[in-house]
Amino acid sequence: MELASLSANLLLVSFIAYLVATMFFGGAVKGTNSEATYQNNRWGNIAIVITIIGFISHLGYFVLRWIATGHGQAPVSNMFEFTTAFGMMIVGAFILLFFIYRTPSLGLFALPLAVIIIGYASMFPRELSPLIPALQSYWLTVHVITAAIGEAILAISAVAGLVYLLKNIDLTKKSKQRFWLESVMFTLILVVGFILSSSTFAVMGYEAKFTYVNQNEQQAQVVYNYPPLFGMNEYESLTPDKMTPLAEMPAIVNGKTLTTLVWSVATGIVLYLLLRLILRRPVATLFQPFAKKANSQVMDEIGYRSVLIGFPVFTLGALIFAMIWAHEAWSRFWGWDPKEVWALITWLFYAAYLHLRLSRGWEGKKSAWLAVIGFIIIMFNLIAVNLIIAGLHSYA
Amino acid sequence: MSKITCQCGHENPFGTVLCERCGRPQTEEAKKSKLIDMRYEGSARRSQTYKKSIVDKIWNFFSSVKIGVSIIIVVLATSAIGTLFPQKLFVPAVREVDIAAYYEKHYGTAGVLYYKLGFYDMYNSWWFITLIGMLGISIIIASIDRVIPLYKSLKKQRTKRHVSFMRRQRIYGLGTVADADMSMTKAEEKLKALRYKVKTEDGAILAERGRFSRWGPYVNHTGLIIFLLGVLLRGLPGFYVDETLWLREGETRAIPGAPGYYLENNQFILDTYSKEDDAVFSQAIDRVGTIVSNYQSDVTLYKETESGLPGQSEQLEFVKDYSIIVNKPLNFDGFNVFQMDYQLDELKSMTFQLTEKASDTSLGEFTVDLINPEPTYRLGEGTYVELKDFYPDFDGMEDGEPKSKSPIPNNPAFIFKMVTPAKPDGEMSFVEIRHTLETEMNDYKATFLSAETRDATGLVIRKDKTLYILLLGGIIFMIGVAQGSYWNHRRIWIQKGEGDELFVAGHTNKNWFGLKKDLDKVKDFANLPLYEDRQDAESSSDEVKGDNS
């Protein structure tokens, strides 16, 4: 148990390190005027050192947890473990690209993304869990780690794309692009809304228990960690002192998921509106000054380069290794399981990105938008496919 | 069609944009442009040249990247729709009516629509397969259309390029240096140190690196085509076996799809994690409940001896003992046997007692084997029970007749004829597990005493000769995609102009940042003129000011 708690502390250290490093990257960007001075600036150097310390601590979390489980496979077998590892790999991918291009603007946006992702991961059960038979294979380690590294490198492409867009979209005038950029900001705020509301009720220790009748007309139990807005089908409360649901849902709708969703979205909207009230302009404008110093050409290049580096890794991990393992564990290399299909969709999407860029000259804004959409697909595969669409990969 | 003769004297194929040899623009459009389009080296591609006949039109359709990307997007979008609700494959129903009802029950109106539009079996639909086929054709034609002319023009390129070619490159510089010859010599030295292949000709340098990366896309496309062909081959008989086998403990059965092989199930084991042995996981076990740690079938594989007649189980030869667990299939002769499913505590046999109701005295016990029941059970002189009918999986009455849902003894029901010396004509009784039905009042009854159970294992037998083809396709794809992504084709041209004037130009298929870094090193070492990146308005000024190295 000691190993496990030490590992949890290391994760906390890395979380804080990323936050601090973000501020130093901010200082690096703020304090410089031109591209030349911006590259080897003291703030930037401190920031990358802190990032690396955070990354090493994060790696420490990973290794200790690996040892603590004792089942021999890497700790990537449920939502918390995978998402945390994914955050780590995003930081790793950022460090790699930082040393090629030396641009602090990238860190200023990549690290907060990693912070949000780790925060999101922590909303899921964190205890050590044993492996079900299907996962007892070294392919778990090989397939998941390779796929996650690929996805993390592809995520950096989206970060570079976002910086590019923030810099190059005119936010003073109404336009479609401004609307969509603001929507991306809004989505990020929604995730923060989920983390905030979920951790608030978790700290309060909120729990409401119900019995209900599920889709197969069987009695089942459910525990809500949010005040229940929507009840499950034919629910009956086991904790009468807690809030009574406002409405009962039919069996095909999961009232608990809907409750979590509505709470998170509501918190996100309130946060967003508060920001708008304070700022009196699009939230994107808050971040724009930090992107202004970046060189568009370099950001475009990083965006493209990270797809080039990430795409083969993703193919190897998420398709080829996946197929080899699927053949061994499930007797078929491909079975149109939703997770498989979404990995294929991601792959096809980046294939389209590469073809559009190579042959049709989609560079700059178009390419940046594609990178952002690609990341949305990756996150959809991580979040929605695991939590909403039922399939063989629903482990969380 | 006539050839195009360039001013340099080289004969180019019809449709050429840039002279293969010296790079001079050949079309009016190219002559007017500030930056030339360097994709495929301005070579003559069939699709850009011939546009008349039907064959041309089909060729041009499939060679277009726009069409290729459109097909990709359509496949992507339809695949996504297919994950909205579970596919037919995952629906626990067989008959079309039941499948339709399933979608309606679970997903309401949207489910009905999903079923009606055929999205419930998306990936086997004719139009989805057609789309994949079109994608395959597009990959082949688009690759051939590009790779051949590209290969030819890269092979024929001359070291010395015409100034009009240099001037239209994205990386371009012109300036007077102190000593042009000295700079040329030093540039050559530095470029070689940077592992460029350097060619010189009459005051011109062509430094080239990583040309093989240009073939990456075509190599990976070849891999994809091999993969798709592998998938196609599975349709042929003999290439692909996919069978299910349910095997009860103690049973030996012929392995479907693998003639001559038999499998015996010695034992099926299901283990779960316990809080005592796996203390680190106790929290998770508390939260989730039972977590399975292992499914395992201990089996023995037999092979029919050559001399034996087919189907004669006495002629079996032991091959091996094996424990099939998830992730560790049994392998033999190209077949794989996978642990896929199980059924715990399946009824094996049931024991009954024949009793006289009035005195409650036993006339004896009998045991019915639920897989191979006997027709009669003798209990003594003149006393026997006849099994008139047997319903292994009794599912209620239909038109006054009992019916069985399946041959698996999940809910056995029997019609017994009980014959005793007192009732030589016998009495009929319908017996279910907790229920007895009599047509008339009987004097005797068969009471259920006990049941024996055993586990059954669900195995899947696969043989897939195409796997190696698929793997080969995958490996070739990976080689190609790495080749095209991790290396790039960089070229630097340096030429002498008037006096000590030097032209510098550079091109790369990707990673301009890397090319510029190389060029900066050469520039500083050999004192070359400044160049500019004509697509980067922001940093060119910076570059002039700044020390970037």
Query: Is pLDDT of B137 > 60?
Result: yes
Query: Is pLDDT of B75 > 80?
Result: yes
Min distance B253 CA to chain A CA atoms (Å): 20
Are residues A40 and A23 located together in one domain of the fold?
yes
Chain A hits for B535, Cβ within 8 Å: 297
* pLDDT-based confidence at residue B106 (cuts at 50, 70, 90): confident
Interval B81-110 mean pLDDT: 83
Distance, in Å, from the CA atom of A89 to the CA atom of B542, rounded to the nearest integer, reads 33
Most confident of A222-231, A242-251, B191-200: B191-200
pLDDT at A86: 95
Torsion angles phi and psi, residue B411, rounded to 5: -145, 75
The domain boundary, picked from A215, A241, A276, lies at A276
Half-sphere exposure of B12 (CA within 13 A, CB side): 30
* pLDDT-based confidence at residue A35 (cuts at 50, 70, 90): low
Query: Is the CB of A304 inside 8 Å of chain B's CB atoms?
Result: yes
The domain boundary, picked from A276, A303, A336, lies at A276
Residue with tokens 């897939």: B464
The CA distances from residue A304 to A101, B76, B320, B486, in Å, are 13, 21, 54, 12
Interval B194-220 mean pLDDT: 91
Structural domain contains residue A176: no
Query: Is pLDDT of A1 > 70?
Result: no
The sign of the torsion formed by the CA atoms of B494, B497, B500, B504 equals negative
Query: Is pLDDT of A134 > 90?
Result: no
Give the nearest chain A residue to B341 (CA atoms): A330
Query: Is the CB of A305 inside 8 Å of chain B's CB atoms?
Result: yes
Distance, in Å, from the CA atom of B147 to the CA atom of B495, rounded to the nearest integer, reads 29
- A130 and B291 within 8 Å at the Cβ level: the answer is yes
Min distance B548 CA to chain A CA atoms (Å): 7
Torsion angles phi and psi, residue A40, rounded to 5: -115, 60
Looking at chain B from residue 139 to 198, which residues have their Cβ under 8 Å from any Cβ of chain A?
A: none
Closest CA to B139 of B53, B47, B72: B72
Query: Is pLDDT of A94 > 60?
Result: yes
Residue with tokens 């009954």: B352
pLDDT at A53: 96
Query: Is pLDDT of A88 > 70?
Result: yes
Distance, in Å, from the CA atom of A72 to the CA atom of B501, rounded to the nearest integer, reads 66
- B107 and A316 within 8 Å at the Cβ level: the answer is no
Min distance B549 CA to chain A CA atoms (Å): 10
Q: What are the pLDDT digits (tens) for B510-519?
A: 888 889 999 9
Closest CA to A312 of B475, B314, B200: B475
Residues 6+ apart with CB under 8 A from B475: B223
DSSP track, A191-235: HHHHHHHHHHHHHHT--EEEEEE-TTS-EEEEEESS--SEEPTT-
pLDDT at B539: 55
Structural domain contains residue A367: yes
The domain boundary, picked from A252, A276, A300, lies at A276
Q: What are the pLDDT digits (tens) for B241-272?
A: 888 898 888 889 899 888 889 999 999 998 88
Is residue B302 within 8 Å of B319, Cβ to Cβ?
yes
Interval A239-250 mean pLDDT: 81
Query: Is pLDDT of A390 > 70?
Result: no
Distance, in Å, from the CA atom of A269 to the CA atom of A267, rounded to the nearest integer, reads 6
* pLDDT-based confidence at residue B311 (cuts at 50, 70, 90): low
Min distance B173 CA to chain A CA atoms (Å): 19
Q: What are the pLDDT digits (tens) for B265-303?
A: 999 998 888 888 888 888 888 887 888 889 999 999 999
The sign of the torsion formed by the CA atoms of A133, A134, A138, A144 equals negative
Distance, in Å, from the CA atom of A285 to the CA atom of A165, rounded to the nearest integer, reads 12
Structural domain contains residue A145: yes
DSSP track, B486-500: H---EEEEEEE-STT
Query: Is pLDDT of B176 > 50?
Result: yes
- B82 and A327 within 8 Å at the Cβ level: the answer is no
Of the candidate ranges A239-243, A367-371, B385-389, the one whose mean pLDDT is the lowest? A239-243
Chain A hits for B105, Cβ within 8 Å: 215
Residues 6+ apart with CB under 8 A from B59: B46, B47, B50, B141, B145
- A360 and B283 within 8 Å at the Cβ level: the answer is no
Query: Is pLDDT of A111 > 80?
Result: yes
Interval A176-192 mean pLDDT: 90
Min distance A279 CA to chain B CA atoms (Å): 30
Query: Is pLDDT of A56 > 60?
Result: yes
Closest CA to A149 of A305, A14, A310, A18: A310
Helix axes A79-101, A138-168, angle to 10 degrees: 50
Q: Does an H or E element contain B57, and which?
A: helix B54-63
Are residues A293 and A200 located together in one domain of the fold?
no
Distance, in Å, from the CA atom of B496 to the CA atom of B518, rounded to the nearest integer, reads 20
* pLDDT-based confidence at residue B309 (cuts at 50, 70, 90): low
Query: Is pLDDT of B547 > 70?
Result: no
Query: Is the CB of B102 inside 8 Å of chain A's CB atoms?
Result: no
Using DSSP, state whether B272 is helix, strand or coil.
strand
Q: Which one is predicted more confidently, B498 or A109?
A: A109
ipTM above 0.85, yes or no: yes
Are residues A272 and A291 located together in one domain of the fold?
no
Are residues A270 and A320 located together in one domain of the fold?
no
Torsion angles phi and psi, residue A229, rounded to 5: -85, -40
Query: Is the CB of B239 inside 8 Å of chain A's CB atoms?
Result: no
- For chain B, what percent of residues have pLDDT higher than 90? 25
DSSP track, A46-105: HHHHHHHHHHHHHHHHHHHHHHHH-SSS-S-SSHHHHHHHHHHHHHHHHHHHHHHH--HH
Q: Which one is predicted more confidently, B433 or B492?
A: B492
Q: What are the pLDDT digits (tens) for A265-316?
A: 899 999 999 999 998 888 888 888 888 888 888 899 899 999 999 999 999 9
Residue with tokens 């496919």: A385
Structural domain contains residue A180: no
Per-chain mean pLDDT for chain A: 87
Query: In a mutagenesis test of the B interface, which of A80, A319, A331 is the best target, namely the one with the most B β-carbons within 10 Å?
Result: A331
Give the nearest chain A residue to B275 (CA atoms): A130
Of the candidate ranges A131-145, B92-106, B217-231, B316-330, the one whose mean pLDDT is the lowest? B92-106
Distance, in Å, from the CA atom of B120 to the CA atom of B103, rounded to the nearest integer, reads 9
Helix axes B65-81, A338-360, angle to 10 degrees: 160
Q: Catalogue all structural domains in chain B, each as residue range(s) with its CATH number.
A: 45-145 (no CATH), 159-210+488-545 (3.30.310.50), 345-456 (no CATH)
Closest CA to A93 of A41, A26, A160, A192: A160
Query: Is the CB of A308 inside 8 Å of chain B's CB atoms?
Result: yes
What is the number of other CB atoms lying within 10 angstroms of the CB of residue B312?
A: 10
Chain B hits for A130, Cβ within 8 Å: 273, 278, 281, 284-285, 291, 293
Query: Is the CB of B67 inside 8 Å of chain A's CB atoms?
Result: no
Chain A hits for B478, Cβ within 8 Å: 312, 315-316, 320
- A133 and B326 within 8 Å at the Cβ level: the answer is yes
Give the nearest chain A residue to B243 (CA atoms): A331
DSSP track, A277-320: HHHSS-THHHHHHHHHTS-HHHHHHHHHHHHHHHHHHHIIIIII
Are residues A57 and A155 located together in one domain of the fold?
yes
- B481 and A312 within 8 Å at the Cβ level: the answer is yes
Structural domain contains residue A381: yes
Encode B303-371 in three state secondary structure. EECCCCCCCCHHHEEEEEEEEEECCECEEECCEEEEEEEEEEEEEEEEEEEEEECCCCEEEEEEEEECC
Query: In a mutagenesis test of the B interface, which of A1, A101, A103, A129 is the best target, namely the one with the most B β-carbons within 10 Å?
Result: A129
Are residues A254 and A306 located together in one domain of the fold?
no
Of the candidate ranges A85-94, A212-221, B305-314, the one whose mean pLDDT is the lowest? B305-314
Query: Is the CB of A220 inside 8 Å of chain B's CB atoms?
Result: no
How many folded domains does chain A comprise?
Answer: 2
In single-letter form, the type of residue at position B381 comes to: E
Encode B115-152 in three state secondary structure. HHCCHHHHHHCHHHHHHHHHHHHHHHHHHHHHHHHHHH
Considering CB atoms only, which of A4, A70, A389 is closest to B83? A389
Are residues A56 and A161 located together in one domain of the fold?
yes
- A320 and B474 within 8 Å at the Cβ level: the answer is yes
Query: Is pLDDT of A395 > 60?
Result: no
pLDDT at B86: 83
Min distance B218 CA to chain A CA atoms (Å): 13
Q: What are the pLDDT digits (tens) for B323-356?
A: 999 889 999 988 999 998 888 888 888 998 888 8
Are residues A90 and A222 located together in one domain of the fold?
no
- B89 and A351 within 8 Å at the Cβ level: the answer is no
Please give the structure tokens belonging to residue B308: 């034996």
Q: What are the pLDDT digits (tens) for A149-183?
A: 999 999 999 999 999 999 998 888 889 999 999 99
Are residues A131 and A198 located together in one domain of the fold?
no
Is residue B469 within 8 Å of B226, Cβ to Cβ?
yes
Structural domain contains residue A184: no
Distance, in Å, from the CA atom of B355 to the CA atom of A354, rounded to the nearest integer, reads 81
| Boundaries of domain holding A149 | 2-171+282-387
What is the number of other CB atoms lying within 10 angstroms of the CB of residue B428?
A: 15
Per-chain mean pLDDT for chain B: 86
Query: Is the CB of B510 inside 8 Å of chain A's CB atoms?
Result: yes
Query: Is pLDDT of B542 > 50?
Result: no
Chain B hits for A69, Cβ within 8 Å: 280
- A360 and B72 within 8 Å at the Cβ level: the answer is no
Min distance A133 CA to chain B CA atoms (Å): 5
Of the candidate ranges A308-312, A341-345, B447-451, the one whose mean pLDDT is the lowest? B447-451
Closest CA to B205 of B542, B503, B513, B416: B503
Looking at chain A from residue 132 to 171, which residues have their Cβ under 8 Å from any Cβ of chain B?
A: 132-134, 136-137, 139
Query: Is the CB of B271 inside 8 Å of chain A's CB atoms?
Result: no
Chain B hits for A1, Cβ within 8 Å: 280
Chain A hits for B511, Cβ within 8 Å: 301, 305, 308
Are residues A128 and A15 located together in one domain of the fold?
yes
Distance, in Å, from the CA atom of B382 to the CA atom of B211, rounded to the nearest integer, reads 96
* pLDDT-based confidence at residue A38 (cuts at 50, 70, 90): low
Distance, in Å, from the CA atom of A235 to the CA atom of A219, rounded to the nearest integer, reads 10
Give the nearest chain B residue to A339 (CA atoms): B83
- B293 and A69 within 8 Å at the Cβ level: the answer is no
Q: What are the pLDDT digits (tens) for B397-445?
A: 878 788 888 788 888 888 888 888 888 888 888 888 777 777 778 888 8
Query: Is the CB of B65 inside 8 Å of chain A's CB atoms?
Result: yes
Are residues A125 and A49 located together in one domain of the fold?
yes
Structural domain contains residue A179: no
Chain A hits for B71, Cβ within 8 Å: none
Are residues A361 and A257 located together in one domain of the fold?
no
Structural domain contains residue A396: no
pLDDT at A39: 59
Give the nearest chain A residue to B486 (CA atoms): A309
- A315 and B481 within 8 Å at the Cβ level: the answer is yes
pLDDT at B310: 57
